[in-house]
Amino acid sequence: MATEALGWWGVPLGILAGTLRGSAPFLFVSLGECLTEKSGKINLGLEGTLLMGAMSAYGVSYLTQDAVGSFWAPWLGVLAAGFAGMTLGTIHGWLAQQPRVNDVAVGIAMIIFGSGLAFFLGKPFIQPQASQLFTFEFGAWSSNPAVQSALKVSPLFLMGVAIAPIMQWFFRSTRWGLYIRAVGDSPQAALAMGISTFKVRMLSIVAGSFFAGIGGACLSLYFPGVWTERISSGQGLMAVALVIFARWSPLQCLWASLLFGGAQAIGPAFQSVGIDAYYYLFNAAPYILTLVIMVITCSPQRTLIGAPGALGKDE
């Protein structure tokens, strides 16, 4: 089939495709961080968790593809990424809750630890090719290869999209969600209710890190689908910032992630249709977007709506 040029249509299509391809890591990390922060602790270490997840997913998929076949191997990788994330989360959850220990400082240490460990263990996996996750071909109706390629959607992305409303419901309508919100808003009251703040926070951090690990698997097993040391380029940290302007609401995390995923594609899409001025500016679009949104939404008159009460306090 002859490839036909899309011309100007390439820009919206490119941004749409970039959104579908690139927002999954943001989505998983921000949902994980949302869960963690709702319980009153911050986990900045998710950047390290993301890298560790990407490395373990790629490594496990590569090592098992001969034994279980190229369909199941990446799924084992996704599981491994989740478990790698949980391991790092356990360390963070235990350390950050010790007396006189600051969770932000532990988080920074965990970024360095997680990324260092991932680089160290990931050396042998840079070169080989691992089996990739399958994709749903939602573009099969179109005869245009560009549309077909843009609508290849990863099952992980769909899972992330499904998890966001479920998590929203979980916080609002379930007993466990209430526990997490109570611990995050007022640990004293939660303690009086007979809830163990340590256990609830530990579980929230571990579960959040599980999501972040899966976010890493999206990077290495779906898009861009390689393991290199520069694979995350700060996406873990951006996702943490994203939770703040999503106002700690899982559904808004979803919209924010889509926005960031799409913003990544702006620079290349514009250059490919010949808008070649200011490409440094367009390439920096996600970061500029963060700043703009922060400036618009912040106000000296009030504190951030939705911020868990105990967040950043030593309680």
Partner 1 sequence: MPNHPPLGFSRRQVIRGLLATTAFGAVTKLSAGCTPAPDAEPDAASEVDSGAVSEVVVGFIYVGPKDDFGYNQAHAEGAAAMAANVSGIKIVEEASVPETSAVAESMRSMIEIDGATALFPTSFGYFDPYILELATEFPEVQFFHAGGLYQEGTHPDNVGSYFGYIDEAEYVAGIVAGYTSKSGKLGFVAAKPIPQVLRNINAFTLGAKSVNPDITTQVIFTGEWAEPVKEAEATNSMADQGIDVVTCHVDSPKVVMETAEKRGIFCTGYHANQAPLAPKGYLTGAEWDWVSIYTSLGEQFMEGKTLMAGDIPHILRGGLADKFCKLSDYGPAVSDEAKAAADAAKEQLIAGDLIIYTGGLKSNTGDVVVPEGEGYKQDNIELEKMDYLIEGVLGNIEG
- Interacting residue with partner 1 among 70, 90, 97, 228 (CB under 8 A): 228
* Shortest distance in whole angstroms from residue 17 CB to partner 1: 7
* Interaction of residue 295 with partner 1, rule CB under 8 A: no
* Interaction of residue 314 with partner 1, rule CB under 8 A: no
* Interaction of residue 7 with partner 1, rule CB under 8 A: yes
**In whole angstroms, how far apart are CA 146 and each of 9, 152, 157, 198, 286?**
10, 10, 20, 50, 24
* Interaction of residue 274 with partner 1, rule CB under 8 A: yes
Beta carbon nearer to partner 1, 7 or 300: 7
One-letter amino acid for residue 39 of the chain: S
Beta carbon nearer to partner 1, 126 or 140: 126
The structure tokens listed for 30 are 């921000």
User: Stretches 43-51, 74-82, 105-113, 261-269: which one binds partner 1 (CB under 8 A)?
Assistant: 261-269
* Interaction of residue 160 with partner 1, rule CB under 8 A: no
Q: How far apart are CA 230 and CA 193, in angstroms?
A: 46
Mask for 69-98, x = binds partner 1 (CB under 8 A):
------------------------------
* Shortest distance in whole angstroms from residue 173 CB to partner 1: 36
Angle at 298 between CA 295 and CA 301, to 5 degrees: 140
- DSSP reduced 3-state for 104: helix
Q: With CB under 8 A as the rule, give the number of residues binding partner 1.
A: 47
* Shortest distance in whole angstroms from residue 2 CB to partner 1: 7
- DSSP reduced 3-state for 152: strand
The structure tokens listed for 251 are 């559904």
* Interaction of residue 119 with partner 1, rule CB under 8 A: yes
List residues bridging with 152 in a β-sheet: 137
Within 18-47, the residues that bind partner 1 by CB under 8 A are 18, 21-22
User: Stretches 32-40, 172-180, 203-211, 225-233: which one binds partner 1 (CB under 8 A)?
Assistant: 225-233
* Interaction of residue 12 with partner 1, rule CB under 8 A: no
Q: How far apart are CA 215 and CA 261, in angstroms?
A: 13
Find, among 86, 51, 77, 89, the residue nearest to 232 by Cα: 51
- Interacting residue with partner 1 among 173, 280, 301, 303 (CB under 8 A): 280
Sign of CA dihedral 25, 26, 30, 33: positive
* Interaction of residue 63 with partner 1, rule CB under 8 A: no
| Residue 136 φ/ψ, nearest 5 degrees | -85, 130
Q: How far apart are CA 187 and CA 195, in angstroms?
A: 9
**In whole angstroms, how far apart are CA 43 and each of 17, 219, 231, 268, 298?**
30, 20, 20, 32, 22
The structure tokens listed for 243 are 């939770």
* Interaction of residue 66 with partner 1, rule CB under 8 A: no
Binding site for partner 1 (CB under 8 A): 2-7, 10, 13-14, 17-18, 21-22, 119, 123, 126-127, 129, 145-146, 149-150, 223-226, 228-231, 233, 264-265, 267-269, 271-274, 276-281, 283
